[in-house]
Amino acid sequence: MSPITKTGVLLVNQGTPDSPSVADVCKYLREFLMDERVMDLPFLKRWPLVNLAIAPFRAPKSAKVYQQLWTPEGSPLKVYGYRVTSLLQASLGANYVVKLAMRYQNPAIEKALAEFQAMGITKLVIVPLYPQYASATTGSVHQKVMETVTSWTVIPEIRFAGPFWHEPRFIRAFAKIGQKHLDRENYEHLVFTYHGLPERQLHQHERYSSCQEANCQHELHAGNQFCYRAQCYATSRAIALELGIAPEDYSVCFQSRLGRDPWIQPYTDDTLRGLAAAGLKKVLVFAPSFIADCLETTIEVGEEYRELFEELGGTHWQLVESLNDDASWISCLHQLVTQQETPRPSPKRSLTALKKYPSLYPISLN
């Protein structure tokens, strides 16, 4: 029997409820928020907080919003996930088997990995679909995959691709979609809004990435390369550079705060209040911590923040569509899968991104 030479590719996104019913949303929230990397509290504090307070009270409210988001084919995150999986399979060809998994709920990571195992595949590329690294997202996917394969007799060769906050194909894909809006309307300002994180999680990141700088939003280099906040600012700089937008003409902010603890600032609602107070009325909004439209983009940014901006006197709050099944995004994924390793900020490597986006790495790395 000839050995299996195919490479398994597992695309992994955050996950979404199986249906927009209160019961399924509650199940999803429980699994999601019981992840210690998401709610970084000891089990005895996390369990009652999630199961007795947050999930049962949040589920009915979130279910209503999911009902607004739901399409006839299902949740957009999953619908686009499957489309991207087929398109990437076509792009990579017969030497690869591409599957989709979600970190929480379905399709489950364990099931996808078991299918690869049953096929005899011993070489895997895992692609967490988060452009910027966070322990709560990318880190959690890595952990789940490693926990799953740890009991196997033959542990496959595994490469974790990304993060890809600086990949030129990713930057250009977002810029190209944004440019269509800029061609149609004369926007006064750009906003880059990212999913937030509790501030204390950022400090944990900083310990691991040795980022001690208060101003990591201005610099990204080998020392702070895993700082989520620094990566978000670097993505924004790169997209703005690609579009020829000056630093004073865009703002970076963080959304989706949950609970009372401080999250990374500036908050998106404060930023848009500041823009409205400055008399700005036409704003184009990017959400580049997401690679597909989902609750946090379509509803939170596209509707809730738009309503707030309009109440404050704004006339245009236009969300740039996410990458979804865009051809340049598929080409970015192809590159992430087939390149030997994901380029990182380093003085020794000649990065395409470094040449194209020198301001991403503004300091000496010696």
161 in Cβ contact with 336 (< 8 Å): yes
Is 296 marked as binding a ligand? yes
Q: Which does 134 bind (CB under 5 to 8 A by kind): Fe ion, ligand L6N33NVT, none?
A: ligand L6N33NVT
**Could you tell me the strand order of the sheet in which 250-255 lies?**
250-255, 189-195, 282-286, 316-319
Work out whether 267 is an interface residue with ligand L6N33NVT (CB under 6 A): no
φ and ψ at 60, to 5 degrees? Answer: -65, -35
Distance CA 24, CA 160 (A): 30
Contact partner, 255, from ligand L6N33NVT, Fe ion, none, Cβ < 5-8 Å per class: none
Q: Tell me the site size for ligand L6N33NVT, rule CB under 6 A.
A: 23
245 in contact with Fe ion (CB under 5 A): no
Asked if 235 interacts with ligand L6N33NVT (CB under 6 A), we say no
Query: Pairing between strand 282-286 and 316-319?
Result: parallel
Q: Is 23 in the site for ligand L6N33NVT (CB under 6 A)?
A: no
CA distances from 76 to 12, 129, 314 (A): 15, 14, 28
The amino acid that residue 234 corresponds to is A
**Number of neighbours of residue 113 by Cβ within 10 angstroms:** 24
| Dihedral angle over CA of 105, 107, 111, 116, nearest 10 | -150
Residue 290 within binding range of ligand L6N33NVT, rule CB under 6 A = yes
Rg of the chain over all Cα atoms, to the nearest angstrom:
20
Q: Which of 100, 112, 125, 136 binds ligand L6N33NVT (CB under 6 A)?
A: 136
Identify what 360 binds: Fe ion, ligand L6N33NVT, none; CB under 5 to 8 Å per kind.
Answer: none
**Per CB under 6 A, does 16 bind ligand L6N33NVT?**
yes
Alpha-carbon gap, residue 197 to 339, rounded angstroms: 30
**Is 122 an interacting residue with respect to ligand L6N33NVT (CB under 6 A)?**
no
User: Which of 117/132 has CB closer to Fe ion?
Assistant: 132
Q: Is there binding between residue 284 and Fe ion (CB under 5 A)?
A: no
**Contact between 216 and Fe ion per CB under 5 A:** yes
| Count of all residues that appear for the chain in the document | 366
Minimum separation from the CB atom of position 131 to ligand L6N33NVT (A):
8
The interface partner of residue 230, options being Fe ion, ligand L6N33NVT, none and the CB cut-off 5 to 8 Å by kind, is: Fe ion
Consecutive H or E run containing 11: strand 7-13
Q: Is 218 exposed, middle or buried (0-12, 13-18, 19+ CB in 10 A)?
A: middle
List the one residue from 167, 242, 296, 326 that touches ligand L6N33NVT (CB under 6 A). Answer: 296
Judged by beta carbon distances under 5 to 8 A according to partner kind, the member of ligand L6N33NVT, Fe ion, none in contact with residue 236 is none
Cβ 196 to Fe ion shortest distance, Å: 9
**Binding track over 154-193 against Fe ion, x by CB under 5 A:** ----------------------------------------
303 annotated binding-site participant = no
Regarding 128 and contact with ligand L6N33NVT (CB under 6 A), the answer is no
Could you give the CA distance from residue 97 to residue 48 in angstroms, rounded to a whole number? 41
d(CA 23, CA 17): 9
- CA dist 190 and 319 (Å) reads 10
DSSP 8-class letter at 156: P
Binding status of residue 11 toward ligand L6N33NVT by CB under 6 A? no
Q: Which residues contact ligand L6N33NVT by CB under 6 A?
A: 14, 16, 29, 38, 58, 62, 75, 77, 130, 134, 136-137, 195, 197-198, 201, 256, 258, 289-290, 294-296
Residues comprising the binding site? 195, 296
Residues comprising the binding site for Fe(2+)? 195, 296
